[in-house]
Structure 1
Amino acid sequence: MAKAKQVQLQIDITSDEEWEKFLQRDGLLVVDIYSEWCGPCLAMQGNLKKIKLESGGDFLHLGMARSNNVEALKRFRNKSEPTWMFIAKGQQVGLLFGSNAPELQRMIMDEMVKEKECLEGIRTRPQRLPEENSEQEQATFEKHAKIEQDRERVKVEKAQRQLKDRRIAQAKNILDTMAHLGLIIIFPHAVKKSSDILDEFLPHTGIAISKKERPQLTEEAIEDIEFLSPDKMPEACKHHLCSERALALMLTVDQEMNPGPLDETILKFAYGATKIAPGEPGTPAYSLLKSQVTKKIQEEAEAIKQQQMQAMLELDEGIDQLEEEEVEVEEEAEEEEAEEEQVAEVIDPNEFRRVSSTFSPTAITIEIEDLVEEEVVEEEVDEADLWGLWAPANDLVKSTALKYCFPLITSALILPEPEPAPAHLAIAFEVFKKHDIYKVMDEYESEILAFGFFTSDQPDEAKLIAKTKKQYEKHFTGTNYGEKLVLKVAKRKSDPILAFAQLGPTYMSSNVDTGERDCSHFFPENYEDEDAEIAPLQPRHTTFIEDTIGEDQEEMIFEGVLHGEEEEDLGDLGGEVKTYLQWKMSELISVEDEEEGEEGEGQDKATTPTTINEQAK
């Protein structure tokens, strides 16, 4: 009978149609908004029933709305914090978060008075639909947005630190084996001329080419190579370096001739005293600049042109001589007609002139100029002169470049990729259950990614109060029964999730996506840092509880909890007092366990908290 009466007093709303029908009621509507996986706030039902029967009557209507099924309440989905919405004439007039019974009672009484004044024309009712954010929600949203920005900034900074640390570790791993080797990279446009130019500079330097490779570099590879370099390539040079295969030269250095650091020796050889690109005049790097290579091509083309013009002049002289001989033949032809015909068949002057005209100096000169001009235009860039040679600024940059230029040699030195964090969930419990939770944590130790003690089980509101069991016990003072123990549990296996679920969590992430978000709030990127912010441990509700009930009533409710009575049967404060006494029972049993000196007796008592907790559910 009691349960039937409860159903009549508090309407269950599970669809849009039921929601719209409920909004048509006159008076003040108080709706407990809950998520399907979490359920309504049962601890408050006793208080609501009393207010309805004693003060509200037909003017107060109570409802429980499942946000998963009501479109107007979609912003409350996947949340476990108790939420109370106050509605009158279809307008949202108030909103309360949390299970604070005195505050809920006060707000219901105040809103009933205000609504009666609105009906009498004394007060104007706020105009805000239930699906719209309240001022409180907007302020909370802005606060959370700021927190999210800070978390994202910390996340990015940590990712950058991890990336840098990983790249340094990788570079050092290669350096351990290849520190005695040097490297230079020749840009694609300079590959053909590099051999001749290096032959001019390498002798008597103590530097020798050990191996050659023709790598096809990518933008990602260049970004990795330059990550630890203080000097960056111009964008035009990066683009050109990726356009075709470059030439990588692995170098050895004679330490007797060059006693200084190997990489410094190669920088000075490549660029001169400046040791930076594009290099000083009279160095290999400067000689391989695009403009210098083009100039050399033009000079060589000009030399070829002069040689061919000289050949054409000599050819012209030969043609003139042949023409003189032709005249002599014509004179002889007048005397001997038979011989003239034979000579005409052997040498036809018109045909000879036609063939010789195709080799004219002018035609050849034009063709050579076209070729030179075409080659120069093909190598032209607008923004900057292309480098021809690159040398690493330090040994770490050299190691990274060796990884991409000589992959067959360095493949055995590549560090394995770090394993990504497994999918995980956030699971929160009342602190008084900590001893039962510790046992499961020990059983599935490898699946517990992080844990901590917080002021709340709401990811957006919770503040850290302790990161370890020892830290919590050390600073634990008074009856702080409202705090939560929150775990970050890997979802690789189902057994640990099921084991924790059986202990009655106050909150559990609905899926791995929500779990990732929840854990980013509970356990941010800097959670392991020693200077992570820890909130001072403050007692919650204890003053209200202890001032409200006396020893006799506490003993009566204590007995009720032990015998599994429903919260509504424990009095007006049944929900909160039940939680308080559950905590006291857990702590009392814990103290008794610690006082037992023998292991056997301790094991017998270890089962007691679970039994009482199960009875008290």
Structure 2
Amino acid sequence: MAKKGGVQQLQADLQNDEDFEKFLERPGLLVLDIYSEWCGPCLGMVGSLRKIKLEIGGDNLHLAICKSDTISYLKRFCKKSEPTWMFVTKGKATNLLFGSNTPKLMKLIAQELELLNKPRTFYDITELQPEEERRRKVKLDTQTEAINKEKAAKKKKRHDYLNMMTDTIIENIPDMGVTVFGPQVNRDMYKKLLEPAENMKLQCKDRRVINVSRADFDVVNYACPNPLSEDVLEQLDQKDLMMCFWKMPEDDRRPIPEVLNKYAHELTKERHEVDDLTEEEIVHPPIIVPMDLTIEIELQEGEEWEDEPEPEPEPPPAPKKAHLKKEEAPTPAATAEPVEGEEDEGEEGSEGDEGGEGGEAGEGPEMPDLQMEPFDLDFDLDDGEEAEDEAEPEPEVEIVVKKRYRKKIIRIPPIWVAGNARTHAALIYVFFRQQTSGFLPPDPAPEPPHIIMAFDAYKKRDLISVMERLKDDVPRYGFFTSDEAEDAKLIANSATKYAGLPQNPTDKIVFKVNKQTSHTMLSLATYGPSYVSPDAVIGHEEALKFFPESYKTAEQEAIEMAERESVKPKKKKKRSSIHNVKSENAEQAPATSTEESGESRPATAPEGEETVLAETQLGEAPPTEGEQPPAAGEGAEAPREGSTSAPAEGEAAPVPTGEETAAAAENPDAGGGLEVAHSEAPPEAEGHTEAPAEAPPEEAPPAE
């Protein structure tokens, strides 16, 4: 307990603005350990801080931990995980240190104690110090570089995809091209446009009027050597343009741009013709001509325009001058007429007053005093109103005069022909996609930008519950040995598998998070990530290392296992049937003699009984040692007990008698073998075997 109390006395715990302001009033050097609520103060420095306070700091050194979440002066340090040390003297900041480098911190504290009463530069607590400015600049530069890198990577990826699409189009329809007509060319002119095309044997396979956008031309012009100018594209944005899809002549082997440029020349040139009667030359105007658009651009303050035409800038200021004259003209009239009227009325009134004064001598001296006060008040009010009226038009005049315009003429061409085959393929890809449906696959859904977010593995329960709610934005997750993409090794691809493995405190759960909406990232960030990708480009590279193409989620593994199990029994059945065929062939190989004779051999008879069974079935057997061969008629007339003869064609198998059944019971091996032989005899044997010609008729066995 004493140790805990010592730690509390060593560093003051500041939680709000009031405590913070009181602490800043202390003399000496104040060292503030600034932390965020989710991270906590740097506990590893406590021993070193106690040592330096006892050795050289003494009463001149005061230590505190400051919670940036609740102290308004330190809001810029909120939500940061890096340890931050601020040095304060006389209520002003003198230095700042980031990180947990103990020797560096101790050295800086010693230096600040030496400079305690010396002149130096001070900063407000809320003011950014040079180290912060440097870090801020580095951060901005890094972000700008990352954004440019992301744009370049996205552009390259887009160009690679467009190259693949246009290559496919060029390969499948190499004799197709597109012409884009300006907004001055409408559908009614289509018949006139076809006349030069028919002379050149061009076939218009499709014609469309399309509302184009700037984004469409960004795709079309990605590899174009002669794109339309930026001013023209700006004027064509959201305009309806007619486009024709042409098939080149079969006998014309020239490049598509050359053929269509000749067609464009025929449309835009003057045609000369000689009249047969008068022999005069007649000049016909071009079928289509350029269109000039004049636009006004407002000049900014201080901007100069040298090429401004002299006669054309006069119309805009003209109405301004007229406006000024109109405002100035009524002003004197409005001011002069009432003044004159007032003067007349004043004169008349004064004359009447004088006449009154002459008639009444007693009231003469008092009246001027009564009349002067209201006259002075009215005069002052009138002057104020007139001054306000004069002041009101001045700001309007200034605002109008400040606006200056310049005129710019933009020429819209009547027809545009791309300068290479790839741009023609891009025009087909963007505006005539239906012509490629037979060979070009649909565009895949673009993968959204994503980042990597890593957390300590012990937070898995809460994090996975969040991931389940936002599954569309978190396509991948897994457990790894580290949150560094270069060194991390996969432990498990699901929480269930990870629970059954040995776990380490350094294990991390890593999420691949789509950067479409900030809601998902904010929901996960509340659990304190140990690492977050700085931008989408680095996040994409890290995601390829954590989750390569070979990575499979637990759901994918379950689906593949189910598919393997559904296919596996069929393969086993096929193998077992092959094995059965091989075994049947092996069993049938030594019994060819029995099959030829029309008899079947027992399938399960032991080796020693094969000869006996052959004797019983055929009626003959080779004599054993010491025995004489039987006579020819004996074996045929009196077969042994228990033997059966093969039935002739068309006859039913003989039914065993009671004695044969009893004999089979006494000798189960022989009976079982016979039964198996009858039941498992191959059907082919019946068709190929014939009963012997001299087969003896069936006879009942002799009685005992």
Question: Measured at CA, do residues 56 and 250 of structure 1 come closer, stay the same or move farther in structure 2, by a change above 3 Å?
Answer: same
Q: Please give the secondary structure, in 1, of the residue aligned with 2:425.
A: helix
> Secondary structure, in 3 states, of the residue corresponding to 1:400?
helix
Cα distance, 1:239–1:155 mapped onto 2, change above 3 Å: closer
State the Cα deviation string for residues 455-490 of structure 1 (Å, max 9, x = none): xxxxxxxxxxx94579xxxxxxxxxxxxx9999742
Alignment of 1:237-316 (within 5 A): 237-238=232-233, 241-242=236-237, 244-255=239-250, 257-271=251-265, 287-290=287-290
Q: CA 1:423/1:233 → structure 2, altered by over 3 Å: closer, same or farther?
A: same
Partner letter of residue 265 of structure 1?
A: V
Distance 1:451 1:269 in 2: 67
How large is the Cα RMSD of the aligned pairs? 4.4
Change (3 A) 1:145 1:204: closer
* Per-residue CA distance 1:422-455 (angstroms, 9 max, x = gap): 35425699xxxxxxxxxxxxxx99437999998x
Matching residue's letter, 1:420: P
> Which of the numbers 184, 197, 216 marks the counterpart of 1:202?
197
- Counterpart of 2:104, as a letter, is E
Question: Does 1:150 find its partner at 2:150?
Answer: no
Give the Å deviation of 1:258. Answer: 0.6
Task: Tell me which residue corresponds to 1:432.
Answer: none
RCO greater where, 1 or 2, for CA within 8 Å and sep 6 or more? 1
Partner SS state of residue 447, structure 1: strand
Whether 1:417 aligns to 2:445 is yes
- Which has the greater radius of gyration? 2
Once residues 453 and 476 of structure 2 are traced to their aligned partners in structure 1, the CA distance between those partners, rounded to angstroms, is 14
In proportion to residue count, which structure has more helix? 1
Instruction: List per-residue Cα deviations over 1:557-583 (Å, max 9, x = no partner).
Output: xxxxxxxxxxxxxxxxxxxxxxxxxxx
2:42 aligned residue: 41
Matches within 5 A, 1:336-355: none
Aligned partner of 1:311 in structure 2 is none
1:158: how far off? 2.5
Secondary structure in 2 aligned to 1:46?
helix
Q: Tell me if structure 2 keeps the 8 A contact 1:271–1:285.
A: no
Mapped to 2, the partners of 1:390 and 1:490 lie a distance apart of 46
1:567 corresponds in structure 2 to none
Q: Secondary structure at the match of 2:150?
A: helix
Structure 1 residues 104 and 400, CA gap change in structure 2 (3 angstroms): same
Q: What is the rounded CA distance, in whole Å, between the counterparts of 2:84 and 2:200 in structure 1?
A: 79
Structure 1 residues 239 and 189, CA gap change in structure 2 (3 angstroms): farther
Q: Paired residue for 2:104?
A: 103
Q: Could you say what secondary structure the match of 1:246 adopts? A: strand
Taking the aligned partners of 2:65 and 2:483, their CA distance within structure 1 comes to 31
**3-state SS of 2:207 partner:** strand
Aligned partner of 1:70 in structure 2 is 71
CA distance in 2, matches of 1:264, 1:421: 42
CA shift for structure 1 position 413? 4.1
Cα distance between partner residues in 1 of 2:147 and 2:480: 19
3-state DSSP of counterpart to 1:188:
coil
Give me the whole-angstrom Cα distance separating, in 1, the residues matched to 2:107 and 2:234: 70
Secondary structure at the aligned position of 1:110 is classed as helix
8 A Cα contact 1:28 1:87, kept in partner = yes
Deviations 1:387-424 (A, max 9, x none): 22222322322233224433544577441232112354
- Once the two structures are superposed, the pairs formed by residues 518-557 of structure 1 within 5 Å of their partners are 518-519=534-535, 523=538
| Residues 1:394 and 1:413: Cα distance change in structure 2 (over 3 Å) | farther
- Which of 176, 180, 184 in structure 2 is aligned with 1:185? 180
Q: Which runs of 5+ in 2 are unaligned?
A: 273-283, 293-406, 458-473, 490-505, 516-520, 545-704
Distance 1:14 1:175, change over 3 A: farther
State the alpha-carbon separation in 1 of the partners of residues 509 and 270 from structure 2.
Answer: 65
Q: Please tell me the residue identity of whatever aligns with 1:270.
A: A
Q: Counterpart in 1 of 2:88?
A: 87
Any unmatched runs of 5+ in structure 1?
Answer: 273-277, 293-380, 430-443, 455-465, 471-483, 510-514, 530-617
**2:451–2:539 contact (8 Å) kept in structure 1:** no
- In the alignment, the residues of structure 1 paired with residue 42 and residue 256 of structure 2 have an alpha-carbon distance, to the nearest angstrom, of 72
Deviation of 1:175 after TM superposition, in Å, equals 4.2
Q: CA 1:180–1:142 in 2, change beyond 3 Å: closer, same or farther?
A: same
Q: Equivalent of 2:424, from 398, 413, 423? A: 398
Distance of aligned partners of 1:263 and 1:141 in 2 relative to their CA distance in 1, 3 Å threshold? same
Distance 1:60 1:89 in 2: 13
Q: Per the alignment, do residues 18 and 178 of structure 1 end up closer, same or farther by CA in structure 2, a change over 3 Å counting?
A: farther
411, 414, 418: which is aligned to 1:388?
414
Deviation at 1:41, TM superposition (A): 0.9
**SS of corresponding position for 1:69:** coil
Matches within 5 A, 1:577-588: none
**Cross-structure match for 2:494:** none
Over residues 283-318 of structure 1, what are the superposed CA-to-partner deviations in whole Å (9 max), with x where a residue is unaligned?
Answer: 9996322479xxxxxxxxxxxxxxxxxxxxxxxxxx
Counterpart of 1:490 (choices 493, 496, 512) is: 512
Contact 2:479 2:508 in 1 (8 A): no
Supply the AA of the counterpart residue of 1:447: Y
CA distance in 2, matches of 1:4, 1:28: 23
User: What is the CA distance between 1:519 and its match in structure 2?
Assistant: 4.7
Amino acid of the structure 2 residue aligned with 1:38: C
C-alpha spacing 1:285/1:400, structure 2 compared with 1 (3 Å) = farther
Amino acid at match of 1:40: P
Map of 2:397 onto structure 1: none
For residue 251 of structure 1, give the secondary structure of its aligned residue in structure 2: strand
d(CA) in 1 for partners of 2:475 and 2:243? 50
Task: Indicate how the Cα distance of structure 1 residues 267 and 428 shifts in structure 2: closer, same or farther if over 3 A, else same.
Answer: farther
Distance 2:285 2:247 in 1: 18
> Post-superposition shift, 1:32?
1.0
Q: Which residue type is aligned with residue 477 of structure 2?
A: E
1:130 alignment counterpart = 125
Q: How many angstroms does 1:270 deviate by?
A: 2.8
Deviation at 1:209, TM superposition (A): 1.4
Question: What secondary structure does 1:189 align onto?
Answer: coil
Contact in 2 for aligned 1:451/1:486 (Cα 8 Å): yes
Query: What letter is aligned with 1:99?
Result: S
CA-to-partner distance for each residue in 1:44-99, whole Å, 9 max, x for gaps? 11211233344433332211111122222222222222221111221112222222
- SS at 2:240's partner residue? coil
Alpha-carbon distance between aligned partners in 2 of 1:467 and 1:286, rounded to the nearest angstrom: 67
Q: Secondary structure at the match of 2:211?
A: coil
SS at match of 2:185: helix
The match for 2:296 is none
Paired residue type of 1:258: D
> Are 1:217 and 2:239 an aligned pair?
no
> How many positions carry a matched residue from both structures?
377
CA 1:428/1:149 → structure 2, altered by over 3 Å: closer, same or farther?
Answer: farther
Q: Deviations over 1:484-541 (max 9, x none)?
A: 9999742479xxx9xx99xx99x725xxxxx45x3569x3888899xxxxxxxxxxxx
Q: Name 1:28's counterpart in structure 2.
A: 29
Partner of 1:59: 60
**Which range moved further: 32-41 or 190-199?**
190-199
1:447 equivalent in alignment to 2:441: no
Q: Compared with structure 1, are the counterparts of its residues 221 and 10 closer, same or farther at alpha carbon in structure 2 (3 Å cutoff)?
A: same
Identity of aligned residues (%): 26
2:475 and 2:232 map into 1 onto residues whose CA distance is 53
- Are the equivalent residues in 1 in contact too, given 2:452–2:543 (CA < 8 A)? no
SS of 1:40's partner is coil
- Secondary structure at the counterpart of residue 168 of structure 1: helix
CA contact (8 A) 1:155 1:525 kept: no
Q: Aligned runs of 1:427-438 on 2, under 5 Å? A: none
Q: Deviations over 1:10-37 (max 9, x none)?
A: 1122222221122122222111111222
Which whole-Å CA distance do the structure 2 matches of 1:83 and 1:57 have between them?
22
Structure 1 residues 192 and 212 mapped into 2: Cα distance closer, same or farther (>3 Å)? closer
Aligned to 2:134: 139
User: C-alpha deviations, 1:78-122, integer Å up to 9, x for none?
Assistant: 22222211112211122222222222223223323332xx1xxxx
Contact 1:285/1:389, CA 8 A, preserved across alignment: no
- Change beyond 3 A, Cα 1:265–1:19: same
1:232 aligns with 2:214: no
**Contact 1:27–1:88 (8 Å) recurs in 2:** yes
Q: Given residue 248 of structure 2, which amino acid in structure 1 is its aligned partner?
A: V
Secondary structure at the aligned position of 2:94 is classed as strand
